[in-house]
Structure 1
Amino acid sequence: MDSKDMNFLKMIQEPQAEASGCSETSTCGSSGGPADMDPEVWNKVKNHPCYSEEAHHFYARMHVAVAPACNIQCNYCNRKYDCSNESRPGVVSERLTPE
């Protein structure tokens, strides 16, 4: 893992302020970057739909739970909601692996 990856991991692992959702007045994204972050990494982060207030209005996001210990608690992997007629987000018939 190089220093760019380490800086990015450090940034996303720091505790974030609790958000109440995105709206005109919320602060989902940030227009400035940390001074110690590599400019190339900051460029990726500021345009990423999960971190940028502007970008997340143009790109869809989907949680793909492939981590062995997912902590999102969103019922994505909860098999009791699976049904052959279900096609809503978060309902799966099988869990895929990264392979």
Structure 2
Amino acid sequence: MLSPTSWWIAVEPIDLRRGMDGLLTAIAMQFGHDGLAGGAYVFRNRSATRIKVICADGSGVWMCVRRLREGRFVWPRSSDRVCEIDAQSFAWLCTGVDWHRLCAKPLVGALV
């Protein structure tokens, strides 16, 4: 069962033809992290239609691929090369919705 301790996004697109070893190298170069330490690392292609996730679970490494039927993944815009998100934001990212606009906490005084 996958239960990463943290979620990290590479802000810049990457060539998704890279396999597991190539993405583990990218994790070390871009993030400065050990890709086998338990976090999940999310990469996208240039057109933002596909993502790959690398996650180590202690006994091996998982590589998952997701492609949307239509539309594009909404990606963070940042001057930083990497961005940390929570599991809920990752779940919304996977659906293709603009997860930046979603608020996990209800607004105080919001009208129902």
TM, length-normalised to structure 1: 0.25
Higher strand share: 2
Greater relative contact order: 1 or 2 (C-alpha under 8 angstroms, separation 6 or more)? 2
TM, length-normalised to structure 2: 0.24
**Bigger Rg, which one:** 1
